[in-house]
Amino acid sequence: MDCNGHEGEDRAAAEEMFVSFLQTSTLGPISELTPCVYDAFISNLRPFLVQCSENHMRQGVLYSANTPILRLPKLTSPMKSNNTKSKEQALADKEETLQIVSHHLDNLLYPVLAGEDMVVCGSEQRKHTVIDLVDKINFLKPKSHPNHEVVLWSKAHEERPRGVIGMCYDRGESAALNLPNTSILDANACVLRTVPYRGVLLANLRQKRRFPCDAALVAFLVAHLTNISSLVYISRYLSPMHLDNENLSFDDQRILVNLLAELDFVKYQELKSALEKRRANAVTKAIML
C-alpha cells in the first residue's frame, strides 16, 4: 500500500510496532504482579472452589429460580440454567418490578403455582416492565425441567400460548381485557385481575414486607416454596385431599396437585382435571397493586 503522507522510515517503524502487537508476550508470575495480596489470594482459592463445587452438585426434582426446592431419594434431575439473555431481557434487568406487587404476593403466585395461565400486559412504553415481570415470574415458577417455553412479549393479534406470557395492549385495551380462566396483570393500571387466594400455604405472603431489591425478594420466595415442597413430598404417599391435619383449603389442594403433576404428569393429571372442573364458577376480582 502506498502512503504519500509519511516518510519511508516512519512507515517502517509503524509496521514494526504493528507486528509487535501480534506477538504473544510471556505472562509474568502472579506472585510478582501482586506480591502484597498473593498469599491471601491463594489461601482463599480453595474455599471458593469448594463452595462453587457444592452449588454445582445441588440437584433435585423440582426447581424454582434454578434452586432445588424438592429432592427425592435416589432420584435427581439436574436443572440446566440458561444464562443467555436476549437484548430485551438485558434492558429489563434494571427494573425492580416485583417490589411493586410485594404486598399481594399470595394472589400473584397462586395462579402460577396452581398451573393457570397468566397474561402480563402493558403498552409499548411499558414493554421493559412487562418483560421483567414475565421473566421473573417464570423464573420463580416451580418446574422439573428447563423445557418450558417463555413468551416475554407478543402482539395482541398473535396466537396466545399457555403459561405466563407478556402481551402488548394499550391502556384502553388492557382495561377491557377479559380472558376466561386466565389471570391478568395489567401493568398499565397496576391491577391484578384474578380469583383471590384463600388458603394457608401462601398465608405468610399476605404480610406487607419491604425488600432492598428483587433478588432478595426472589430468594425469600424460593425459601417459602421450599417449605411448601415438603407437603408435595408427603402428598406422593398420602393424597393431598386427605391431609386433614394441615387444614388445607381447596386452593391449597390445587397448588399441591399441580406441583405433583409437574413431577408426574401421567399419574396426577386426572386428579388435576377433576379439581379444575370444581373451580368452574370462581369469581374474578380486581386487586389494586
Q: Report mean pLDDT in 10-residue bins for the chain, 289 residues.
A: 54 69 64 75 73 59 86 64 52 72 93 95 94 94 80 82 92 91 94 95 90 91 94 88 84 95 91 88 89
Q: How many Cα atoms within 13 Å fall on the side-chain side of residue 257? A: 24
Which residue stretches of 4-126 are H helix?
8-22, 30-33, 38-57, 87-92, 105-113
For the entire predicted model, the pTM comes to 0.75
Q: Report yes or no on 45 lying in a domain.
A: no
Phi-psi region of 66 (alpha: psi -120 to 50; beta: other; left: phi over 0): left
Class of residue 216 by CB neighbours under 10 A (exposed 0-12, middle 13-18, buried 19+): middle
Q: Read off φ and ψ for residue 62, nearest 5 degrees.
A: -140, 130
Domain total of the chain: 1
| Residue 188 neighbours by CB under 8 Å, 6+ apart | 121, 122, 123, 126, 169, 170, 171, 174, 175
Asked whether residue 150 is assigned to any structural domain, the reply reads yes
Cβ contact 232:87 at 8 Å? no
In a domain, 11, yes or no: no
143: CB partners within 8 A, 6+ apart: 62, 63, 64, 79, 262
**Residue 115, Cβ neighbours under 10 Å: how many?**
20
In a domain, 26, yes or no: no
Please state whether beta strands 117-122 and 62-64 pair in parallel, antiparallel, or not at all (unpaired): unpaired
The DSSP 8-state label assigned to residue 144 in this structure reads: S
Distance CA 63, CA 71 (A): 9
**Secondary structure class of 242 (helix, strand, coil):** helix
What pLDDT is recorded for position 11? 67
Domain contains 244: yes
* 33 in any annotated domain: no
* Per-residue confidence (pLDDT) for residue 281, from 0 to 100: 79
Q: Give the pLDDT score at 113.
A: 97
Task: Report the pLDDT value the prediction gives residue 24, as an integer from 0 to 100.
Answer: 56
SS3 249: coil
In a domain? residue 56: no
User: For position 7, what pLDDT does the model report?
Assistant: 56
Is 196 domain-assigned?
Answer: yes
Alpha-carbon dihedral angle through residues 34, 40, 41, 42, given to the nearest 10 degrees: 110
Contacts of 181 (CB under 8 A, 6+ apart): 116, 117
CB of 21 within 8 A of CB of 35?
A: no
**Average pLDDT, whole number, for the chain?**
82
Domain extent for 272:
62-76+87-288
* Closest C-alpha among 109, 117, 167 to residue 136: 109
Closest to 114 in 3D by CA, of 182, 179, 167: 182
